[in-house]
Amino acid sequence: MFHLNSSQLKDLMQSGTPLLLDVREPHEFEICQIQGSINIPMNQVPAHLMKFELDQDIVAICHHGIRSAAVADFLESRGFTRVSNLTGGIDAWAREQDPEMPRY
């Protein structure tokens, strides 16, 4: 698994279209999200594996980067080869890239 900081994710988003997999709970996702991200709560990811391609760029996102790191590890254990974790999560993104984004 590769760890991305918020600046690296911003660059990646400008140069391509990674799948932004937000693994927070729906009530968290309603508060704030990175545009274009999809919300699949952590405990539901195993049931949705068929929606992803093994070689697509996937960036796992949560509040602070702990849950998303676990999901990224899980995806790699299932054969996904281009998985990253947003270090610091949506909170780091809000602080460093989108100061207008609500925080919790």
Domains for the chain: give ranges and CATH numbers.
2-96 (3.40.250.10)
Binning pLDDT at 50, 70 and 90, where does residue 65 land? very high
pLDDT in the model for residue 72: 98
Q: Stretch 69-97: mean pLDDT, rounded?
A: 98
User: Active-site residue among 20, 59, 62, 94?
Assistant: 62
The token pair at 20 is 């932004």
Q: Stretch 95-101: mean pLDDT, rounded?
A: 97
Which DSSP letter does residue 82 get?
Answer: S
pLDDT over 90 (residue 1): no
Give catalytic status of residue 62 as yes or no: yes
The 10s digit of each residue's pLDDT in 27-47 is 999 999 999 999 999 999 999
- Give the per-residue SS3 of 31-98: HCCCCCCEECCHHHHHHHHHHCCCCCCEEEECCCCHHHHHHHHHHHHCCCCCEEEECCHHHHHHHHCC
- For residue 85, give the amino acid letter: N
* Nearest alpha carbon to residue 61 among 85, 42, 82: 85
- Count the neighbouring beta carbons within 10 Å of the beta carbon of residue 84: 21
Q: Stretch 53-63: mean pLDDT, rounded?
A: 97
pLDDT over 90 (residue 16): no
Q: Stretch 94-101: mean pLDDT, rounded?
A: 97
